[in-house]
Amino acid sequence: MDQAPGSPQGPHEQGPQDAQSLPTCYRHPDRETGIRCTRCERPICPECMVSASVGFQCPTCVREGSGTGHPPTATQPRTLAGGTVTTDPRLVTKILIGLCIAAYVVQQTAGDRFTERFELLGRAYVPLLGSVEGVAEGQWYRLLTAMFLHGSVMHIIFNMLSLWWIGGPLEAALGRARYLALYFASGLAGSALTYLIAEPNKPSLGASGAIFGLFGATAILMRRLNYDMRPVIALLVINLIFTFGWPNIAWQAHIGGLVGGLVVGYAMVHAPRERRALIQYGACGVILVAVVVMTLVRTVQLT
């Protein structure tokens, strides 16, 4: 509001310096604002603000950036890895735990025949099935189904507690799709390494390979955020001691899952924003190619 020289300012009137410090929105000239578009730097009011990965953009820049003539819509907030922030950040973890528990219930009710049909087995004669079974016989599904089976109550309790403690926060940090890709890439890497170097007639099962992958990705994430690494390192060391010091544990699955988790986790956390999805899912693709190669090599050896 203009004011004559020498006249007193009213309680709601604005002096020249205040007027200069608060520009008006370029789309609504009657609205003052202190926010500017991060792309064109034009002032925008709250009605025109569109959430971006950093700051806010104006509707014009969002429309030009999308290459469409449609009115822009506000983008959803993103996680550190570029995933969508959801109302239930542990939903996938809950589903995975539910699937493992359901599979264990079926194991207990259906008997050994069910477990022997879906556990990880390289190549062996199975008396209950009356035939030679295993991945080498073309049963590649065992690489996946074994990730949801467990051998005892303590086995599934320990794995599910680890999945809840490690997987929940990691899912919230990565987003559902990226977390799920990490989980399966790590689990399959563990299964493939087990198939490659373990005795072919020795079955194995459990979600440990995927969980060790989550351990590796958690370490990468904590390093990226400059958090204290000692707790996760101590927990990982304890698990590795159990891996190599406890009998009847498929250490190959743990090591394979850990390596897969480190590779995918690094890509998830450190991928540059402009090529984020390509690098993140490309790393998952590299792990899956390694899984296929290891599986083919071992199959040729056994057959």
Report DSSP letters for 244-296, one per residue. Answer: HHSTT--HHHHHHHHHHHHHHHHHHHH--GGGHHHHHHHHHHHHHHHHHHHHH
Closest CA to 83 of 50, 53, 61: 53
Catalytic residue among 70, 152, 208, 270: 208
Catalytic residue among 162, 186, 191, 254: 254
Report DSSP letters for 170-233, one per residue. Answer: HHHHH-HHHHHHHHHHHHHHHHHHHHHHS-TT--B--SHHHHHHHHHHHHHHHHHTT---HHHH
Closest CA to 149 of 108, 197, 90, 190: 108
Known catalytic membership, residue 208: yes
Which tokens go with 255? 């090591």
Would you call 106 exposed, middle or buried from its count of C-beta atoms within 10 A (0-12, 13-18, 19+)? middle
Known catalytic membership, residue 254: yes
CA distances from 155 to 82, 103, 202, 250 (A): 34, 13, 18, 13
Which tokens go with 11? 């309680």
CA distances from 9 to 21, 207, 214 (A): 17, 72, 63
Does residue 103 contact residue 148 with C-beta atoms inside 8 Å? yes
18 residue type, one letter:
D
Active site residues: 208, 254
